[in-house]
Structure 1
Amino acid sequence: MARLYADEQYPYPVVELLRALGHDVLTVQEAGKANHKIPDENVLAFASSEKRAVITENRKDFFRLHRI
Structure 2
Amino acid sequence: MSRILADVNVPEEYVSVLRGDGHDVVYSREISTLGPEATDDAIVEYAASEGMAIITTDVKDFAD
TM-score interval for Structure 1 and Structure 2 normalised by the shorter chain: 0.7 to 0.9
Q: Percent identity?
A: 37
Runs of 4 or more above 3 Å deviation: none
Please report the TM-score for the alignment, with normalisation by the length of structure 2: 0.84
Structure 1: distance between partners of 2:13 and 2:31: 18
Q: Which amino acid aligns with 1:50?
A: E
Which of the two has higher C-alpha Rg?
1
Q: Which amino acid aligns with 2:42?
A: N
Unaligned runs of 5+ in 2: none
Structure 2: distance between partners of 1:29 and 1:60: 19
Unaligned runs of 5+ in 1: none
Match of 1:14 in 2: 14
SS at match of 2:29: coil
Residue by residue over 1:39-67, the C-alpha shift from the partner in whole angstroms, topping out at 9 and shown as x without a partner, is 21111101111110110001232121xxx
